[in-house]
Copies of this chain bind each other. A is one copy, B any other.
Amino acid sequence: MSTATMQAVVYEGPFNIVVKEKPKPVLIDETDAILKVHIAGVCGSDLHMYRGHQKTTTGHTMGHEFIGTVESVGSAVSRFKAGQKVMSIFSPMCMQCWFCQHGHTNRCVNGPSFGSMSLDGGQSEYVRVPFADSTLEFIPKEVSDEMMIIMCDIFPTGYYGAMKAITKLMRNNDTADSIAGGALHAPSALRPNFQKIALDQLMVVCLGCGPVGLCAVLSAKALGAGTVYAVDSVDDRLEEARKMGAQPLKLGTDDIPEIVKAATDGRGADAVVESVGNKSAMRLAIDLVRACGVVSSIGFHQGELPFTAFEAYSKNLDINMGRAAARPVFGESLTLFAENQDKFSDFITHRMPLADAPIAYEIFEKHQARKVILTL
């Protein structure tokens, strides 16, 4: 019996994406599902590999955003069966390890990463999905298949970045025992009644208006932040950010630190949501945030930290970094997305056949496309 084959988008090295024949995946573990893919997105984080910034071997199938139909499931899969239309969260999670059980699905110790050397991705005719019960989701009637690509990674990730920043700010001056539901022993009544920062007075700067950055902008506004500034160098992206409710600030043109200071009586931004993932963005984040403010970083950083311990101490910074925990926020971010999907109506600018993946990567890398999807 000959092995069935399929077309797949394969990474052969920096700026070298090839569509080629590969064996069709088969069920390996009892928690697996095999999907027939209909739509696959090219994500900004694919570009880290494409540009050669991310160390990796070659030969794997790219892509961690995909919509498809279940073709077969392993014996332990209970939520899904063949024939159902589903989408995948960008990274498989086992829901069994300590991290998954405590909501840190972003650090699942058993889940490999789609589109990496550890697991073939979904830019292909078929894809194997580990831990299918927790990694897949149904597509709600309210959202089109195509728009649901935005929920695979970029919207939950942008939402997570904005939500972390805003909830941290809103929690400031909560007392110890109010926070822990009375579990802590320190009496809150003794804490002076400081002014709580008002949600609609919050000033949030979103650094980067790529797809994730725009989702962060929308989320920050939808969660109630009074003022959201959006920073990028690309006019088209800034125009999208404006539609999402932000005030656009152009890198290299606007005096961004001065504008942010002027808008906050000289203090700086309450929070900066950083979705770029390089040193200059993180440096700008540190410059823009006020003392005791929050830097919520969801950009994929692979280098050094461009600030000193002295700066962090002197500004009393509160910084969270890392990949979003998409599963815990999936439901709430989907609700927000469904309510605001009209703002994403011209978000997907390019629809191309799988065979044109090399061109898709090229135009996306050059900022000539807002969001590219591959259709099968």
Contact = CB atoms under 8 A, between A and B. Distances in A.
Interface string A287-306: 00001100001011111111
B304 A308 contact: yes
A300 B314 CA distance: 9
Contact of A301 (B265, B309, B332): B309
Nearest to A321: B312
A83 interface: no
A106 B316 contact: yes
Contacts of A186: 159, 163, 222-223, 332-333, 335-336
Interface string A275-297: 00001001000000001100001
Interface in A338-367: none
A84 interface: no
Interface stretch (A36-44, A187-195, A232-240): A187-195
Interface in A147-194: 159, 163, 166-167, 170-176, 179-181, 183-192, 194
21 contacts: A98-B265, A99-B292, A101-B194, A103-B195, A104-B172, A107-B315, A170-B179, A185-B336, A186-B332, A186-B336, A190-B332, A191-B332, A192-B327, A192-B328, A194-B328, A301-B309, A302-B309, A306-B309, A313-B321, A316-B320, A316-B323
B171 A335 contact: no
Given A170-B183, A180-B170, A310-B303, A331 B190 contact: yes
Contacts of A189: 331
A329 interface: yes
A82 interface: no
Nearest to A335: B187
A295 to B, nearest CB: 10
Number of copies: 2
A319 interface: yes
A223 B102 CA distance: 21
A102 B194 contact: yes
B309 A282 contact: yes
Contacts of A107: 291-292, 315-316
A136 to B, nearest CB: 14
B167 A180 contact: yes
Given A184-B166, A322-B313, A175 B332 contact: yes
B302 A224 contact: no
A26 interface: no
Interface in A86-105: 98-99, 101-104
Contacts of A197: 102
A138 interface: no
A81 interface: no
